[in-house]
Amino acid sequence: MSDAAAIGDGIFQISVPITGSPIGNTLVYAMESPRGLILVDAGWNDDNAWDGLTSGLESIGHSISDVEGVVLTHFHPDHTGLCGRVREASGAWIAMHESDHVLFESMVGTSSDERLTAGKANMIAAGAPLADIDEWQGATPHNPTSRESAPDRILVDGETIALAGRELLAVHTPGHTPGHVSFLLPTSDILFTGDHVLQKTTPHVGNFVYPLEVRDALAEFLDSLRRVQTLGVTRGLGAHGLSIDDLAGRADELIDHHEERLDHLYDAFGDEQITVWQVAERMKWYKPWAAISPLGKTMALSEAAAHLRHLVARNLVAQVPDSSPAVFARV
């Protein structure tokens, strides 16, 4: 059971558990709207999470049937998982940015076998050792969301969502995902940052396709952080962890962190030609590479690909022509 925390300005924070995850929970925010409540995100899809969301709403004198709409920061299952159950119980609309809507459809529209096949092809193209590919295949988890949670409303940058006596403004902040959206509450000097800016955690920024894709996710993320700084907002409310009391300052820390990682990666190339997998091995992580789990390595591989892609965009690194699997070297 969860109680909603009143954090001022008519905002209630509900801790929705993510069963079995070290992340612990997704912080869902509820605010009164003309027809009930607007939620920022919904949470993971299982009975434990559902109990957390519904009991949190009940603790502030509401029920799930009062939810008018859910605005989603991004498509990941710990944010979208309960949307189907919320809509079934309340008739709520579900809104997501178009770029993430496409990814959501891909996530729920492919079978486990198709995802495994695509993932294996990516790892082979990245130069992953066969043993690591086999370990990853044995550890791939069940997808905890379904088409029932699909959004029925597209969010665009600058769109306003009506609240009771005020408005919420959608701010496109790509990076963590292509369609990540933060939500500005101008009258309260607050930005709901989703997974774009977190107080203690560095959000994952990854590229999906190896050896490289057109999208420069890290450039998007850095540009979005600078955009957040121009909003003149002091306080950030993220989807995980503590609130942020100096949003611009925290954005600066994240920018500096990634610039340091880029410098370190560039130095780590030396005079060698290396694969994307070797790029990941040479980056600094929270634990030694050999100690990272199979699923953790694929997340790290995605993050490494984003940093590599950005070094290529800066003309510091280039792919060696006709190499297979692709290898890269300093220019």
For strands 235-238 and 190-194, give the pairing. parallel
Residue 192: phi and psi, rounded to 5, are -80, 110
What's the confidence (pLDDT) of residue 19? 86
330: number of Cβ within 10 Å: 14
Q: How far apart are CA 24 and CA 267, in angstroms?
A: 36
Q: Which residue has the tokens 């605010």?
A: 31
Instruction: Write down the domain spans for the chain.
Output: 5-268
What's the confidence (pLDDT) of residue 61? 95
Peptide bond into 325 cis (omega under 30): yes
What's the confidence (pLDDT) of residue 142? 67
pLDDT in tens, the chain (331 residues): 578 999 999 999 999 999 888 889 999 999 999 999 999 999 999 999 999 999 999 999 999 999 999 999 999 999 999 999 999 999 999 999 999 999 999 888 888 888 889 999 999 999 999 999 999 988 766 667 889 999 999 999 999 999 999 999 999 999 999 999 999 999 999 999 999 999 999 999 999 888 899 999 999 999 999 999 999 999 999 999 999 999 999 999 999 999 999 999 999 999 999 999 999 999 999 899 999 999 899 999 999 999 999 999 999 999 999 999 999 999 9
3-state secondary structure 138-187: HHCCCCCCCHHHCCCEEECCCCEEEECCEEEEEEECCCCCCCCEEEEEHH
The CATH superfamily holding the domain 5-268 is Ribonuclease Z/Hydroxyacylglutathione hydrolase-like (3.60.15.10)
Q: How far apart are CA 204 and CA 217, in angstroms?
A: 10
What's the confidence (pLDDT) of residue 1? 59
**How is residue 23 written in tokens?**
């992340």
Task: For residue 7, give the 3-state DSSP assignment.
Answer: coil
Q: How far apart are CA 235 and CA 246, in angstroms?
A: 6
pTM score of the predicted model: 0.96
Task: Compute the 3-state secondary structure of the chain and give helix, strand, coil in percent, each to the nearest 5.
Answer: 40, 20, 40
Q: How far apart are CA 186 and CA 52, in angstroms?
A: 29
Sign for the pseudo-dihedral over CA of 264, 225, 247, 33: negative
What's the confidence (pLDDT) of residue 245? 97
What's the confidence (pLDDT) of residue 189? 96
Task: For residue 27, give the 3-state DSSP assignment.
Answer: strand
What's the confidence (pLDDT) of residue 139? 78
